[in-house]
Amino acid sequence: PGWFSEISPMWPGEAHSLKVEKILFQGKSDYQNVMVFQSSTYGKVLVLDGVIQLTERDECAYQEMITHLPLCSIPNPKKVLVIGGGDGGVLREVSRHSSIEQIDICEIDKMVVDVSKQFFPSVAVGFEDPRVNLHIGDGVAFLKNAPEGTYDAVIVDSSDPIGPAQELFEKPFFESVAKALRPGGVVSTQAESIWLHMHIIEDIVANCRQIFKGSVNYAWTTVPTYPSGMIGFMLCSTEGPPVDFKHPVNPIDADDSHSKSRGPLKFYNSEIHTAAFCLPTFAKKVVDSK
Ligand SMILES: NCCCN[C@H]1CC[C@H](NCCCN)CC1
């Protein structure tokens, strides 16, 4: 009874609000405050340090796009690493790709995993896939220890740069991702909103251009419950077999990716894949020029 407003210094002067039916969980992990509430119109909602991470109603837009934009851009992905992603949604999407043999995930906060399994079973279903190896720890350290050229794809499903995920937006981390990728390997990272964080995106693009010698792209999706109603992703490839992110070579067919536990794709398709890279002029200037 009442409203939850997402007030943050990361988006000054604005706040998205959701009507609250009932608070289901409140806790404090070693890293952040964790809360789950039942909203009136978006299903259950996961909140970390006052920032909305996902809602049952629109999480598909984020999890499907951050996962299928990279994995549908390379033929035959086999080994995938997820940094963050403790709610399990990205794992659910990665496991739709039958060519994949190994899915490593490194999430720093065990409470996020446990809370997702308890309150968001349709999201945490991703942990049930036998190819998944869960590591609880710091993604920066995990990548430092990863042997060179191990992965076909790395997906960085992080929270925002203020908090535990801060290092995942810095150059040394991107360098360790590039090292862990095979030639022509791809990375997809949570890359904020062009309406709110054009300067952060500018810095990320500049860093990625220095580090990923294949291609560097910014794509976006709409997520009604994220501030500004959208979120973007950096899609980059390392030097090697060229990757054309804008035309999926490995289309995921809606029904063959369907399984009882995962349910069908709700958002991603090949047309929206291509459209995701179309940018408004003010963003194009920054992304294409850096
Ligand atoms: N697997 C779902 C996790 C989602 N990660 C992030 C959670 C915080 C959110 N803030 C949006 C900030 C405005 N761009 C971005 C995605």
- Token representation of residue 199: 């300067």
In this prediction, residue 42 carries a pLDDT of: 98
Q: Ligand 1 pocket check: which of 51, 190, 204 to mutate, most ligand atoms within 8 Å of Cβ? A: 190
- Centre of ligand 1 from the C-alpha of residue 158, in Å: 7
Dihedral over Cα of 51, 56, 60, 61: its sign: negative
Nearest CA, atom 6, ligand 1: 159
Q: How far apart are CA 156 and CA 224, in angstroms?
A: 21
Give the residue, 70 or 161, on which the prediction is more confident. Answer: 70
Q: What is the pLDDT of residue 290?
A: 58
Mean pLDDT to the nearest integer, 3-10: 96
Protein residue with its CA nearest to atom 15 in ligand 1: 159
Task: Indicate whether residue 194 lines ligand 1 (CB < 6 A).
Answer: no
For ligand 1, whether the C-beta of 51 sits within 6 Å is yes
> Can you give the C-alpha Rg of the chain in angstroms?
18
Query: Is residue 266 helix, strand or coil?
Result: coil
Q: Judge whether residue 22 has pLDDT over 60.
A: yes
Residue 209 has pLDDT above 80, yes or no: yes
Tell me the pLDDT band of 255, cut-offs 50, 70 and 90: low
Distance 13 CA to ligand 1 centre (A): 18
Region 61-66: mean pLDDT is: 98
Question: Does residue 77 carry a pLDDT above 90?
Answer: yes
Q: What is the mean pLDDT of residues 76-104?
A: 97
Residue in 14, 45, 56, 231 to alter for ligand 1 test, most ligand atoms within 8 A of Cβ? 231
Q: What percent of the chain has pLDDT over 70?
A: 98
Phi, psi (5° rounding) for residue 261?
Answer: -70, -35
CA 21 to centroid of ligand 1, rounded, Å? 22
CA distance 250 to 246: 12
Decide whether any atom of ligand 1 lies within 6 Å of the 265 Cβ: no
| Average confidence (pLDDT) over 75-81 | 97
How many angstroms is it from 53 CA to the middle of ligand 1? 5
The pLDDT, as a whole number, for residue 2 is: 97
Query: Which atom of ligand 1 is the closest one to the Cα of 63?
Result: 1
pLDDT tens readout for residues 210-236: 999 999 999 999 999 999 999 999 999
- What mean pLDDT is predicted for residues 178-192? 97
Q: How many whole angstroms from 159 Cα to the centroid of ligand 1?
A: 5
Write out the two tokens for 288.
Answer: 């294409």
How would you label 113-142 residue by residue, b for 16+ Cβ within 10 Å and e otherwise?
A: bbbbbebbebbbbbbebeebebeeebbbeb
Whether ligand 1 lies within 6 angstroms of the CB of 227 is answered as yes
Res. 192 pLDDT band, cuts 50 70 90:
very high
- 157 in catalytic set: yes
Higher-pLDDT residue of 18, 252: 18
Atom of ligand 1 nearest to the CA of 231: 14
The enclosing H or E element of 128 equals none
> For residue 70, what pLDDT is reported?
98
Whole-number pLDDT of residue 203: 94
How far is it, in rounded angstroms, from Cα 286 to Cα 102?
A: 36
For the CA of 90, the nearest atom of ligand 1: 1
Please give the ipTM for the structure prediction: 0.92
pLDDT, one tens digit per residue, over 262-283 is: 999 999 999 999 999 999 999 9
Q: From the alpha carbon of 227, which atom of ligand 1 is closest? A: 13
The mean pLDDT value of the chain amounts to: 95
Name the H helices within the chain: 59-71, 89-94, 110-119, 121-124, 139-145, 171-180, 198-211, 270-275, 281-289
Whether the Cβ atoms of residue 37 and residue 22 lie closer than 8 Å to each other: yes
pLDDT in tens, 112-168: 999 999 999 999 999 999 999 999 999 999 999 999 999 999 999 998 988 778 888
Active-site residue, from 87, 157, 253, 255: 157
Give the number of the atom of ligand 1 that is nearest the alpha carbon of residue 87: 1
